[in-house]
Structure 1
C-alpha cells in the first residue's frame, strides 16, 4: 500500500511538471522594440511660393559610434521664409538600401520627430502629420525661418513603443543630430 501511494505521488508530480513545462511559447514572445540602424538622414526644405527645394544631409556609413560621419551639412535658409519640411531616413548598410522612412510611417504610433532650434528665433516648426492616435509624427511639416543668425537645429527621432503620448518622453533616440543652422 505504501509503495502504491509513492507511485501515485510520483506520477502526479511528473504529470504536473509536464503541464507546466509545455505552456504555449507565444506567451514568451516579446516584440522587437530595438532602435533602427539609420545611416543617412536628409532634410528637404521646399520654399513656399517658389517651390525650390534645398536638401541637407547627414551620412554615417556604420551608424552611431565607430567611424566619423562622412557628411554633415550646414542648413542654410532664407530669413523670414516659410518652407515645407520633409525628412528621409535610410539604412545604407544593407543591399538593397532600406528606406526606414517607410517603416517610421507604418509605425508612426511608435515614433516622434522633434525639431529644436538653438536660438529659438532662428526657426519655428509646425507638425503637418499625425498618427492614428492623433499624436504628431514630424515626417512632414512647416518650418518658418526667423531673423538672420547662426545656431543649430537638433533633429531627434524618438522611438516610443507602447508609450507615445505626443511628448519627447518616454522613449529612446533612433536619431539625435545637431545640424549647424544659418539663417540669412
Structure 2
C-alpha cells in the first residue's frame, strides 16, 4: 500500500511538472522584425517643372562594417530650386537583387525616413507620403535647395516596429548616411 501511495505521488508530481513546463505555441512572444540589410541607397532628385532626374548613390556591397563603401556621391543641387525627391533602397548582396523599397512600402507603418540638413538653411524637405496611420514615410517628397553653400544631408531610415509615432524615436537605424551636399 505504501509503495502504491509513493508511486501515485511520484506520478502526480511528474504530471504536474509536465503541465507547468509545456507552453502552448500560441503563448510565445513574437520577436520584432530585424533591421534590413541595405547595400545601396539612391536619392533621385527631379527638378520641378522638368523631367530632369539627377541621381546620387551610396553603395556598400558587403553592408555596414567590413569593407568601405565603393560609392558615395556628393549631392549637387541648384540654389533656390524645388525638386521631387524619391529614395530607393536595395540589397544587392542577393541574386536577384532584393528591392527593399518595396518592403518599406509594404511595412510603411514600421519605417520613417528622416532628412537632416546641416546647416538647416541648405535644404528643406516636405513629406509627400503617409502610412495607414497618417504618419509620414519619406520615400517621396519635396526638397527645396536653399542659397548657395555646402554642407551635409543626413539620411536616416528608422525601423520602428510597433512604435512608429511620426518622430525619429523610438527605433533603430536601417540606414544612417551623411551625404556631402553642394548647392550652387
Same-fold status (TM-score > 0.5): yes
Structure 1 residue 18: Cα displacement: 2.5
* Structure 2, gaps ≥5 residues long: none
TM-score, with structure 1 as normaliser:
0.96
Q: How does 1:74-93 map to 2 (within 5 A)?
A: 74-93=74-93
* Structure 1, gaps ≥5 residues long: none
DSSP-derived class of the 1:85 partner: strand
Please tell me whether residue 157 in structure 1 is matched to residue 153 in structure 2. no
User: What is residue 63 of structure 1 aligned with on the other side?
Assistant: 63
Aligned-partner Cα distance in 1 for 2:75–2:99: 23
- Per-residue CA shift, 1:33-63, capped at 9, x if unaligned? 2111100000000111112110000000000
How many residues align? The count is 184
DSSP-derived class of the 1:153 partner: strand
Structure 1 residue 15: Cα displacement: 1.5
Aligned-partner Cα distance in 1 for 2:88–2:27: 36
Aligned-partner Cα distance in 2 for 1:3–1:134: 70
User: What is residue 18 of structure 1 aligned with on the other side?
Assistant: 18
Structure 1 residue 171: Cα displacement: 0.7
Which ranges of 4 or more aligned residues in structure 1 deviate by more than 3 Å? none
User: What is residue 101 of structure 1 aligned with on the other side?
Assistant: 101
DSSP-derived class of the 2:126 partner: strand
User: CA RMSD for the aligned pairs?
Assistant: 1.2
Aligned-partner Cα distance in 1 for 2:98–2:32: 17
Asked whether the 8 Å contact 2:32–2:161 carries over to 1, the reply is no
Asked whether the 8 Å contact 2:87–2:140 carries over to 1, the reply is yes
Aligned-partner Cα distance in 2 for 1:32–1:117: 30
Structure 1 residue 32: Cα displacement: 4.7
